[in-house]
Amino acid sequence: MKSISVIGSGTMGNGIAHVFAQHGYTVALIDIQAAQLEKAMATISKNMDRQVSKGSLSEEQKTEAISRITTFTDLQEGVKNADLVVEAATENMALKLDIFRKLDEFAPKKAILATNTSSISITKIGAVTQRPEQVIGMHFMNPVPVMKLVEVIRGYATSDSVTEIIMNLSKKLSKIPVEVNDYPGFVANRILMPMINEAIYSLYEGVAGVEEIDTVMKLGMAHPMGPLQLADFIGLDVCLSILRVLHEGFGNPKYAPCPLLVNMVEAGYKGAKTGEGFYLYTPGIKDLVVASRFSKN
């Protein structure tokens, strides 16, 4: 594995590109929008500057890592030399299936095709290709340069050898891979999303306010961030999408998304990225909570 192509230059995509480049891999970062690619490279540079200031990366290492990343707006050109493709596009089934059909055509036959999906079936994605044994889930956590976990998800047809390669590769990125099987939500989101949904139901039913719910989980359960603020950071639209995958996949009403979550997403309140979710955020500074929309004060 030397040449890595990453599709999608948003939060997850630029984080994945960052980590691969930092660990010596040649990276092709692909997006349909040139402006988004420029923004992604600026983000990667800023995040590496933070590492330099903390002493975990030298200025020379940063320069070398940045030089390993080349941006592309043409999918075919961006994947033509790939040993591994990691798709990190929007969490949308139709979009991902379309991308993988094209990857099967454009990427070298030896290339492994991975997806960073947080909930969509690896088996279903692999089935639209002529190489399902080479299709696998590689679910990084956000923020990618910081979080150690990689969920490595085997589709029904994923081979043992491909799974072993991705497990070993993840370790070379200084990550801790965990192998799981392909069922809705895998492990992380099958457990996390019902918790977030229940927190939203607790707000919806008037059990407590936003700050109160988050404080209980932070102080009582030692969570570093409350579930409602975490939902804002993940994106309320993403949370809704994953819950719908779980609800459809299991046919169990316990996964039904809370009506409050549905209404907020339909109204455009999608969390930190839009400036408002369960909390309000200063535009362009997603990590700064200003006040709660649902505050009792």
* Residue ranges covered by each domain of the chain: 3-181, 189-292
Q: What is the pLDDT of residue 294?
A: 75
E strand or H helix that includes residue 153: strand 149-154
71: left (phi over 0), alpha (psi -120 to 50) or beta: beta
Indicate which residue of 118, 121, 170, 202 is catalytic: 118
Q: How far is CA 274 from CA 32, 155, 237, 281, 297, in A?
A: 21, 34, 11, 8, 23
Q: Which of 260, 274, 266 is nearest to 210 (CA)?
A: 260
32-72 pLDDT, tens digit per residue, is 999 999 999 999 999 999 999 999 999 999 999 999 999 99
Q: Peptide bond preceding 184: is omega within 30 degrees of 0, i.e. cis?
A: no
Of all residues in the chain, the percent with pLDDT exceeding 70 is: 96
Q: What is the pLDDT of residue 260?
A: 97
190-218 mean pLDDT? 96
Residue 258 predicted with pLDDT over 90: yes
Tell me the helix, strand and coil percentages in the chain, rounded to 5.
50, 15, 35
23 is annotated as an active-site residue: no
For residues 225 and 289, the answer to whether their CB atoms sit within 8 Å is no
- Tell me the pTM: 0.91
Q: What is the pLDDT of residue 282?
A: 81
Indicate which residue of 151, 170, 197, 292 is catalytic: 151
The CATH superfamily assigned to 189-292 is N-(1-d-carboxylethyl)-l-norvaline Dehydrogenase; domain 2 (1.10.1040.10)
- Alpha-carbon distance of 65 to 17, in angstroms, equals 10
70-82 mean pLDDT? 98
- How many alpha carbons fall within 13 Å on the CB side of residue 119? 23
Query: The domain 3-181: what is its CATH number?
Result: 3.40.50.720
The amino acid sitting at 5 is: S
- Alpha-carbon distance of 118 to 129, in angstroms, equals 20
Q: What is the pLDDT of residue 58?
A: 96
- Alpha-carbon distance of 194 to 177, in angstroms, equals 23
174 is annotated as an active-site residue: no
139 is annotated as an active-site residue: yes
Indicate which residue of 87, 139, 170, 276 is catalytic: 139
Q: What is the pLDDT of residue 289?
A: 65
Residue 285 predicted with pLDDT over 80: no
Most distant pair of Cα atoms in the chain: their distance: 60
- Alpha-carbon distance of 38 to 33, in angstroms, equals 9
A 10 A CB-CB count for 159 gives 17
Beta partners for 70? 28
The amino acid sitting at 184 is: P
189 is annotated as an active-site residue: yes
